[in-house]
Amino acid sequence: MARRDTDEPEDRGRNRRSGIGDARAFTPRGRTTRDGGTGDGADAAADPQADAELQRRRAELRMVRGGRAEEGRPPQRLGRVTGAPANRRPRRAQEDPDLGDGDFDVEPPPRRRTAPAGRGRPDREFIGRTQAARAREPRRADRPAAGRSRPQDRRQRPAAPPPDPPKMGEPRRRLRLATALALLLFAAIGVRLVQFQLADAPAFAAQGLEDRLDKITLPAPRGSIFDSTGAVLAKSVEARFVAVDPELVEEPKATAGLLAPLLGKAPSEIEPLLQKGKQEVSGKPVRFRWLLRGLNVDDANMVRALKLKGIIVDRDERRDLPGHDLAANLIGFTGTDLNGLAGVEARYDQVLRGRNGQLRYETGNGDLNKPIPGGFRQEIKAQPGSSLMLTIDRDVQFQAQHILFEGMKKVKAVWGAAVVLDTSTGEVVAQASYPTFDAANHSAAKPEELADNATSVVVDPGSVHKAIVLSAALQEGVIEPDSTVKIGPSIKKGNQVYWDTHQFAEGTKITLPGLMAFSSNVATIKVAEKLGAEKLYEYQKLFGLGQPTGIGVPGESSGQLQPPENWSGTSYGSIPIGHEMAVTPLQMAAAYAAIANDGVWVQPHLIKKTIAPDGKVTLPAPVKSHRVISAENAAALREIMEAVTTVDQATGRSAALPGYRISGKTGTGSQVLNGKYVKGEVGSFIGMAPAENPRYVVAVFVKTPGVGAGGKVAGPAFRDIMAFTLRHFKVLPSTIASPKFVTTY
């Protein structure tokens, strides 16, 4: 900052200019003619001693900075012309009396380039008159008196000593810093080299080895599927695939003609695959297309013998299904890569699928692209998939399908389903669907042929549900086996009137065997009134309705039940007789199996055991089971239901099987699709034999476009399927005949 004299009068301090003028006095760019003064001329003249002191201090400062000013010679002030002395006034000042001495700017002095010895900056000279010299000059008449100043009069404080020059850099310090940086750089390079040689060397070596390796995939065979006797239902066999590299094919038309008879395709189908093409995304040439997969080995060898350019023949695997359509809706099928797509193949894909192995070996390059003797070789053996043994019996399955198909064709049925259950274990002995497909050629199947009707189709069960109502009523003590119900020809619930097909006069007392034999809607609704909606709903769930059975087939439906809070006025008449609800054929078969199994419901299942590649057998987890009704009530209900096949004019006479006591029930309902009824009827019959000690339950459901035809097909189909099943498993005929039933009073 500029120095300020402490003895300066206060009024002068107020009129002084800012210290920027003092700072400018020490810049190399020059100063104005007023630089150097501290007051007006009168003040300088009044104190000549101060002026002499100021001159002496400035001379010392010039000596310190290396100046060469002559001793005793006051410094000159230069005008606008470089080098002009200050006492030579310019023409402008002489012509204009308003301009006083120093009232104009001057050119800055030339900057000195020579630095005094021992200093790092150029010498600077003070230019301009001092305060005392300016005071000695006669004051012009037009100049204002001391203490006054014109607006253009610019005064400056005495210049302060210039600040010390900045220190120069220290070379030794810079040298040390540069040395440290260089050492750090060399250290980093050294560490990286050590890392390459020691730490990363194995990785680079492994990468180099990887580039020299050839890899061959060792396919893992997919596990087989057996029936309960060990007969093969599906297995994998070695095969070959035929593919093409279109870029290498020279004559597509001629090549297609040679391949057509061996691949079993038309030349017009093969030729487009042999043509060159571009990939849609990358635009690169197509280098691979499938021609055929799963070709048998002999035909593949003939294709290889042709030595056609661009044709690739290599190892493959295909799924072989000896039975073709046998249990096809249950077993399902696989894709071209042998991944399960439907049925058991899809549900247990992770169990059946194996893990491919790999052979890696070191080869040369170019003409030496062959295994290197003694080179790297690694083999990871393939792990074949596990096999499944189903509860299905191949012979029973075949007969069930055959009998069902013959009956369906006679009535031109839309679909059909047949289920054979082991009553004590819950094993599915057979499960047939109509229509079906050839699993060995599943690509030709229609969508409606692929479904397993026993688990995916949903229907209202109709009168076969009446066995559930009587079971619950007997268990709750609402009725006894010898109870009677007073009925008439019809009954009204809500705004709906329900009629019996076998009508009786008002006030007729019908027995429980008569109720089942003539399928009385009126009697069933009255029994359900005594039981109550809450109890009926409870027993429906106990019998497994409204929830998937967990059999293990993909796409199984759960059906739907109506809780009592959702019942309408008509629900009290519709639900007891099997309407306003939805079930699958398998759910109803399992419910009847619970009655046959002395009142214990057992979860239906398909898997008997799993066989590992090493032969180790794994049994599935125990199936779920629970008691629904007592054994006494179950036995009483089975005897009551014998009237369905034995009483004259009963609804199930067509299901009677000579030599065996049969307990069962007929039903007529509708298919439910997307929450709506489908036009047509679903006739059904579910029964068990022998009635005194049931071994098997057979359920048959048939959907026809007309009315009543389903019931005509279901009874005979049940009879024939049950007859074969009993003979196949050598079940002895009944030794005691069915009782004689009284139906009405």
Ranked by mean pLDDT, which of 60-74, 115-129, 357-371, 697-711 comes out on top?
697-711
Residue bearing tokens 């003590």 = 477
The DSSP output letter for 413 is: -
Q: 528, 576 in Cβ contact below 8 A?
A: yes
Q: What is the pLDDT of residue 87?
A: 44
Q: 293, 241 in Cβ contact below 8 A?
A: yes
Q: What is the pLDDT of residue 139?
A: 52
In whole angstroms, what is the distance from residue 550 CA to residue 248 CA? Answer: 53
Least confident of 29-38, 62-71, 170-179, 337-346: 29-38
| Residues 221-353, CATH architecture | Alpha-Beta Complex (3.90)
Peptide bond before 151: cis, by omega within 30 degrees of 0?
Answer: no
Token digits of residue 62: 């010039």
Q: Which among 454, 426, 397, 466 is positioned nearest to 652, based on CA atoms?
A: 466
User: What are the extents of the domains in the chain?
Assistant: 10-136, 221-353, 394-439+451-728
Q: With respect to CATH, is domain 394-439+451-728 assigned 2.60.120.1030?
A: no
Q: Please give the helix or strand (H or E) that residue 721 lies within, else none.
A: helix 709-728
pLDDT band of residue 210 (cuts 50, 70, 90) is low
In whole angstroms, what is the distance from residue 180 CA to residue 244 CA? Answer: 65
In whole angstroms, what is the distance from residue 412 CA to residue 297 CA? Answer: 42
Q: Which among 261, 423, 224 is positioned nearest to 338, based on CA atoms?
A: 224
Q: Which residues on adjacent β-strands are paired with residue 358?
A: 217, 380
How do residues 438-461 score in pLDDT, each as one tens digit?
988 888 889 889 999 999 999 999
In whole angstroms, what is the distance from residue 293 CA to residue 202 CA? Answer: 42
**Residue 214 CA to its chain's centroid (Å):** 34
Q: What is the pLDDT of residue 279?
A: 81
How do residues 160-205 score in pLDDT, each as one tens digit?
777 777 766 678 888 888 898 998 998 888 887 777 677 666 776 6
Residue bearing tokens 């046959």 = 596
Higher pLDDT, 156 or 232: 232
In whole angstroms, what is the distance from residue 484 CA to residue 243 CA? Answer: 76
How do residues 498-540 score in pLDDT, each as one tens digit?
999 999 999 999 999 999 999 999 999 999 999 999 999 999 9
Ranked by mean pLDDT, which of 39-48, 57-66, 309-318, 495-504 comes out on top?
495-504
